[in-house]
Amino acid sequence: MSRLVYLDGKLVPKDQAVVSVFDHGFLYGDGVFEGIRCYSGVIFKLKEHIERLYASANSIMMKIPMTPEEMEKAHVDTVAANGLKDAYIRTIVSRGKGDLGLDPRKCPVPTVVIIADSITLFPGAMYDQGVKMITSAVRRTAVDAHNAQVKSLNYLNSIQAKIAAIQAGVAESLMLNAEGYVAEGVGENFFIVKDNVLITPPRHAGILTGITRQTIMDIAGEDGYKVSETMITLHDVYSADEAFMCGTAAEIMPVVEVDLRTIGAGVPGPITKKLMGRFHEVAKTIGTRVIYNA
């Protein structure tokens, strides 16, 4: 069955899901997006993702042409129409079709796209072995330049950091903020574990406060671990007992080496492994259930 893509209110076959080259999302990266997962027919934290999508749009003064409730239904319908129980969903709202100038007033109607498909960021074996990272020379953008909290269609500094990782022959890059403190991965948040405490950079480190990050903080808290949102340096990373990155697409990925320094025992740590198991248990229980037609 050909995939059906939601495009401006209609479900259309994948190869007919096309957007104008005059769309400012294409011309200028002017727009916002979300990456969402569906586990066993439950769209994980869909309401939280939609809330973040509308917050991102509001920040760039773009009015999404439907209500959050309509947006939620469009997601459920798109997953159901494709008969998917497990899926990766990509939601894009771009400024819409305009002319060859920056002025967003020339784009009367934002374009809304919802794609339900699958994603594999890393081969399965990497989750058992853990991955190596390097620190990218490209920093996160300053919050007063391009705030990572706005999940915009501009991911160029992340892409440059990804290229640096590929060239170094490692799985992913760790990105610092302008002050040199650890911020996050290219599309993942970052945690270290030291003396049984989970430590992750705070919002003011200039990160996207991820939905997976929050879920891990909640699970860890329920399991009796202390969680601290604290600025960390590369020295803290190099001397951590465990490290992992997390995000909707990556889920929880153990990190066993950073900048050629072995982290802890050089294998996925016990707390990381426990959290990976717990995350998969809870992920299919929190969210919006898809109703499939018989």
Chosen residue from 187, 254, 264, 269 binding ligand PMP by CB under 6 A = 187
Site string for ligand PMP, 119-158 (x = CB under 6 A): -----------------------------x----------
Look up residue 189 and give its amino acid: N
Binding flag, residue 248, ligand PMP (CB under 6 A): yes
Tokens found for residue 219: 């699970």
Q: What is the DSSP string of 200-259?
A: E--GGGT----HHHHHHHHHHHHTT-EEEE----HHHHHT-SEEEEEETTTEEEEEEEET
Least distance (Å) between residue 101 CB and ligand PMP: 28
- Asked whether 288 and 46 are in contact (CB, 8 A), the reply is yes
Least distance (Å) between residue 89 CB and ligand PMP: 11
Least distance (Å) between residue 38 CB and ligand PMP: 14
Site string for ligand PMP, 31-50 (x = CB under 6 A): ----x---------------
Pairing of strands 251-258, 242-247: antiparallel
Q: Determine which one of 151, 162, 194, 226 is catalytic.
A: 151
Nearer to ligand PMP, 30 or 188 (CB): 188
Binding flag, residue 189, ligand PMP (CB under 6 A): yes
Least distance (Å) between residue 16 CB and ligand PMP: 27
Nearer to ligand PMP, 29 or 65 (CB): 29
Chosen residue from 17, 42, 134, 211 binding ligand PMP by CB under 6 A = 211
Q: Is 273 a catalytic residue?
A: no
Nearer to ligand PMP, 210 or 287 (CB): 210
Chosen residue from 177, 212, 272, 288 binding ligand PMP by CB under 6 A = 212
Q: How many residues bind ligand PMP (CB under 6 A)?
A: 13
Provide the angle, in degrees to the nearest 10, between the axes of the packed helices 211-222 and 46-59: 140
Order across the sheet with 42-44: list the strands: 10-13, 4-7, 111-117, 87-94, 31-39, 42-44, 287-289
Nearest to 71 by CA among 85, 60, 56: 56
Tokens found for residue 52: 């973040």
Least distance (Å) between residue 175 CB and ligand PMP: 8
Residue found under tokens 């990272």? 133
User: What b-and-e string marks burial along 128-139, b requiring 16 or more CB atoms within 10 Å of the CB?
Assistant: eebbbbbbbebb
Nearer to ligand PMP, 4 or 172 (CB): 172
Tokens found for residue 275: 């959290």
Contact segment (CB under 6 A) with ligand PMP among 17-25, 194-202, 208-216, 259-267 equals: 208-216
- Asked whether 119 and 158 are in contact (CB, 8 A), the reply is no
- Asked whether 90 and 33 are in contact (CB, 8 A), the reply is yes
Cα(21)–Cα(252) distance, integer angstroms: 36
Residue nearest to ligand PMP (CB): 210
Chosen residue from 23, 172, 184, 242 binding ligand PMP by CB under 6 A = 184
Chosen residue from 17, 112, 131, 208 binding ligand PMP by CB under 6 A = 208
By the criterion CB under 6 A, which residues form the site for ligand PMP?
35, 148, 184, 187-189, 208, 210-213, 247-248
Residues acting as catalytic residues = 151
